[in-house]
Structure 1
């Protein structure tokens, strides 16, 4: 059974909630339903689960309900377990098919406070825009992502003491124990191929079969493309969204990795396809990293919404989309292949899963900085990602650190190396992104 960090968030909600339901959202296939089922089994004597796609009758009954009593009556009519106050979790899944339940949940938790309610679904960033009223104060939420690298290591039986060593090495800016370093570097290279989609991870851990892995990954990619056809409006819009999604690997393979809107249709401008890009990001299947005018705090004020890199939500899916030859090249450890897009994708999704909003910066005077993040005390930290052996070449990073107006104290290079500290730059093994977030950066003196 896969361990997920989101379980602790659900346990905290159960222990500290007042009258709040919980909304678990995230892209399709990231493990939301399995997480809630596991949580229910561990913490309640009874769990009622209603899936609004599988159970259309229950959906229609709740849609027709006029008040909290009617909604609860409908739930009780389709319950698959006993409803006992103080002992029961009510889990309403695939709520994008029954959008009014989000509005009605306020009245449910008010009227039936003896029960705990969890809502979940996919494409909520797309579908919940049309909900009449999201009940502020009555609905907590967490967003799930594919397994991050630490969760992937847990799936591979890596013990907690291993990441204790990584965190200690990071805090002290010393090399990671050599055995730990070699183990995690190998797993990170594997993670670039497998990614973090739970079914794909479980299958690969059990079988170590690349062909079987690719079948799982391709099924998820196909399902995402089907979702575009099902939930996006209009034939032309569906075609454009699919085109953008399919172009992610090719665009990331470009030298500057910025998504060029003209690749969608000759001569196209961002304003024409803005909604299509937003559909993919709202659905959680693509991760945008926006450019900023200058790398100064606060980064959000310098964001340029029409310039961005578009990453896949899972590096394993990106590798699958790149084709089997890339997988074979990685397994043969070819050194003449550019893996930069895969490394950057893994770093982007890791930072986002840790609650970081990454940006990037590029101008003619400085060059390009792969990522920028803000520490919790308002310091901008530049991050360079290097997939090759020449990781100590970073002229853009040097120029940015030498610009007093930017206020950058130190820079980070994530690379195929153990920890090294040189003047104002920390060279970290790329897997160490697993312990990097807005708080840990501050704790390490940045």
Structure 2
């Protein structure tokens, strides 16, 4: 598989420079999101040598080193070096513990290995935090962590050789100046491709190689199969509830209001019974949870309501495949008809999901605002997302910025106006993400949806 340029690489470089061997780095993320690839690429570029210990393949002899030789590190490194055929250089070698969740004792050993100080350490893992993977170990305090998300739209453009367009989009966003119509149309077409392909590196690699949506779909189906296997294997007593949520993602997100209706899972279903299942999917990086902030302020989490949740797929390409999974295979022609808008798919679902994905990739926790009032319709409003950012008109003090996502070119901004009227001085820039070019109207900035990841 082709190695792509990833923004997270800079975080690895920053860790190496600042840590100077005093901590290990844990790269967390969903299965097949590229954790091992970026760790190996970093080792290849930045050290005299690197060693990959893959715990999905490591034989019992190697596992035994972590027990039998833990108090004799000279022998421990000599045996590892010999087994993997890698010469280790003091302060110039990286050891990667790949899929470390499969052997928690290796993660526990990080404390001792970092204290020894000879080499640098990167761990990669998914499902790292689930109970069975941490119950018998002491989590090392000498461990930093980063989250690796699916490729964002910039990284997708880079993979397609469109880095100049990515740079132009960022410049347009910064200067609040629209792209020329021809470039806007090109960016929108590529963004629609991104929504269908998604950001899983294997899917992007297959698309770059073949431009065959059917082959890309097969890659995504295999990833979804892995997710289902993980739920069955690691979901424990919650696996049935986890599966129900997973199987209902498309149905819930295809509604006008994307809030997850627990009663759709069964008449007796209650939110408190499903809290652990939602957490499991989020902790496995399969979904992105978005909570209602009932009294929006700079601290959005202060008023978050866990009984009201929107549950987005962490990768929109995988959501597209779930939505088209009525048959064993989805043909390339169907994808192309969707791309060219010859047939309809729920654009609102994909648009809102991809915005959630890109906001999450840019470091935002996800919040929305919802208010219902049976007696006074003027009080009803639904804001898709809330972020906190400096507001130019308030001396760069932090304010709440509401975001509405519009998949159609014809829309109104009723909720956005109500939100401003209700919260007034708490509110900063109001954003609309839509398919049209950028336009600024007072404190409302209407951005083409392909700029969502720049917020």
| TM value normalised by structure 1 | 0.91
Unmatched 5+ residue regions in structure 2?
Answer: 325-329, 373-378, 391-396
Is 1:96 the counterpart of 2:98 in the alignment?
A: no
Give the Cα separation in 1 of the matches to 2:72 and 2:382.
55
Q: Deviations over 1:87-115 (max 9, x none)?
A: 3111111111111222221111111x131
Q: Deviations over 1:306-345 (max 9, x none)?
A: 2110011100000000004973552341486531110111
Is 1:16 the counterpart of 2:30 in the alignment?
A: no
Partner of 2:130, secondary structure, is helix
Partner of residue 174, structure 1: 177
Cα–Cα, structure 1 residues 250 and 16, in superposed 2: closer, same or farther, change >3 Å? same
Q: Deviations over 1:159-214 (max 9, x none)?
A: 2x433322222222221233332221111000110000001101011101111011
1:37 corresponds, among 32, 35, 40, to 40
Partner of residue 229, structure 1: 232
Q: Deviations over 1:239-292 (max 9, x none)?
A: 221121111111101121111112222220011121111111111111100111
- Report the RMSD for the aligned CA atoms in angstroms: 2.0
Cα–Cα, structure 1 residues 296 and 207, in superposed 2: closer, same or farther, change >3 Å? same
Q: Deviations over 1:345-381 (max 9, x none)?
A: 1110111111111201110214100000111553110
Partner of residue 343, structure 1: 351
Give the Cα separation in 1 of the matches to 2:140 and 2:346.
48
More divergent stretch after superposition (224-233 vs 164-173): 164-173
1:375 corresponds, among 365, 382, 389, to 389
Partner of residue 247, structure 1: 248
Partner of 1:179, secondary structure, is helix
Partner of 2:88, secondary structure, is coil
Give the Cα separation in 1 of the matches to 2:175 and 2:48.
46
Give the Cα separation in 1 of the matches to 2:274 and 2:67.
33
Is 1:403 the counterpart of 2:422 in the alignment?
A: yes
Cα–Cα, structure 1 residues 68 and 312, in superposed 2: closer, same or farther, change >3 Å? farther
Is 1:385 the counterpart of 2:405 in the alignment?
A: yes
Cα–Cα, structure 1 residues 422 and 299, in superposed 2: closer, same or farther, change >3 Å? same
Q: Deviations over 1:376-424 (max 9, x none)?
A: 5531100000001113x02111111122456213200000111111122
Partner of residue 6, structure 2: 4
| TM value normalised by structure 2 | 0.90
Q: Deviations over 1:33-76 (max 9, x none)?
A: 11111111112222111111211412243245544627546634
Give the Cα separation in 2 of the matches to 1:68 and 1:251.
55
Cα–Cα, structure 1 residues 411 and 129, in superposed 2: closer, same or farther, change >3 Å? farther
Partner of 2:445, secondary structure, is strand
Partner of residue 412, structure 1: 431
Is 1:125 the counterpart of 2:129 in the alignment?
A: yes
Contact 1:373 1:380 survives alignment (8 Å): yes
Partner of residue 194, structure 2: 191
Give the Cα separation in 2 of the matches to 1:72 and 1:230.
33
Contact 2:386 2:400 survives alignment (8 Å): yes
Contact 2:158 2:166 survives alignment (8 Å): no
How many residue pairs get aligned? The number is 430
1:299 CA displacement: 0.7
Unmatched 5+ residue regions in structure 1?
Answer: 437-446
Give the Cα separation in 2 of the matches to 1:363 and 1:96.
41
Partner of residue 48, structure 1: 51
Give the Cα separation in 2 of the matches to 1:75 and 1:145.
31
Is 1:206 the counterpart of 2:209 in the alignment?
A: yes
Contact 2:370 2:383 survives alignment (8 Å): yes
Partner of 1:379, secondary structure, is strand
Contact 1:152 1:201 survives alignment (8 Å): yes
Partner of residue 275, structure 2: 274
Contact 1:27 1:122 survives alignment (8 Å): yes
Partner of residue 87, structure 2: 82
Contact 2:403 2:430 survives alignment (8 Å): yes
Contact 1:68 1:107 survives alignment (8 Å): no
Partner of residue 355, structure 1: 363
Partner of residue 441, structure 1: none
Give the Cα separation in 2 of the matches to 1:249 and 1:363.
23
Is 1:422 the counterpart of 2:441 in the alignment?
A: yes
